[in-house]
Amino acid sequence: MIKKLCVIGAGTMGAGIAQVAIEKGIETTLRDVDDQFVQRGLKTIGTFIGKKLEKGKLNQAEHDAILGRLKGSTDALEAAAGAEMVIEAVFENMALKQKIFAELDGICPKETVLASNTSTLSISRIASVTRNPERVVGTHFFSPVPVMRLVEVIKGDKTAPSVVEAALEFCKEIGKTAILAKDVPGFIVNRFLCLLYNEAADQIYKGYATAQDIDNGLKLGSNHPMGPVEIMDMAGVDVCNNALKALYEMTGEERYKPSPLFEQMIKENRLGRKTGRGFYEYK
């Protein structure tokens, strides 16, 4: 059982991971490089937990106890002190992640599990800069973390079986379902999702189908809760393009080569909900 967790990176994913951990009784320190980012992460979590209080899903004592388990810090040493597990959720950049893992490897006792929330990068490569690569593992959460039930647990080439076990146990502890994934580009789920996004964009680009028909097709004909086009607008057309580009570069497989429609839409600032226009228009 993990009793104390440290999360590095207080952005979308880091804040989400910290939230589910404190809700499940785990003392958590959220670390970022600048106090304004730490405060932003703490505020996001406070707002979500506050809403549960307003809706009567938590009483005041439960609300206070949950938030009482959360701390913020800009200091890596202070944040990682006493943590049995550290989860890194900083920008998707190999050099940055390797720098953080080298630092964590130096300051954390050997028993501390070091996990990365990377969505595309190789766990083995991240671990290669550490002196103890056997304690490095991937824990790939999905966004929004409090809602999505899955975590992909990724074993690097040197990850110890006991560390994989510890990661699987941790997922259970925080109420998530884990699946074991190989350390291949895109792991399991993103390899599928990227294909769906690319196929949808390709059909629209070639004039074979409209966004609406594709979404209706997959929702009504295949029971998808959301259509792939709606999801792309929510996640960001640029974000989906980057994910596809990364998978294409890493695998060399043509099926991941982004449809030309992505670049066209990016040039027109049609990035999805965040710019008011993507595949659909938003008021």
| Residues at the interface with ligand NAD (CB under 6 A) | 8-14, 31-33, 37, 89-92, 96, 100, 117-119, 140-143
Query: In the bound complex, what is the minimum distance in angstroms from residue 96's beta carbon to ligand NAD?
Result: 6
Q: Which is nearer to ligand NAD, 58 or 174 (CB)?
A: 174
Min separation Cβ 85 and ligand NAD, Å: 16
DSSP class of residue 15 equals H
Q: Which is nearer to ligand NAD, 35 or 268 (CB)?
A: 35
State the pairing for strand pair 136-141/150-155: antiparallel
Residue nearest to ligand NAD (CB): 11
Provide the β-strand partners of residue 137.
115, 155
φ, ψ (nearest 5 deg) of residue 98: -65, -40
Give the N- to C-terminal CA distance of the chain in Å, as an integer.
47
Contact criterion met (CB below 8 Å) for 183 and 122: yes
- What is the smallest separation between the CB atom of 141 and ligand NAD, expressed in angstroms? 6
Residue closer to ligand NAD by CB (options 119, 159) is 119
Q: In angstroms, what is the minimal distance from the CB of 44 to ligand NAD?
A: 10
Burial class (CB in 10 A: 0-12, 13-18, 19+), 88: buried
Alpha carbon distance 219, 217 (integer Å): 6
We find the least distance from the C-beta atom of residue 140 to ligand NAD, in angstroms, to be 6
Q: Give the residues across from 116 on adjacent strands.
A: 88, 138
Cβ proximity to ligand NAD, 152 vs 203, nearer residue? 152
Which residues participate in catalysis according to the annotation?
A: 119, 140, 152, 190
SS3 at position 191: helix
Q: What is the CA radius of gyration of the chain?
A: 20
Which CB atom, from 58 or from 141, has the smaller least distance to ligand NAD? Answer: 141
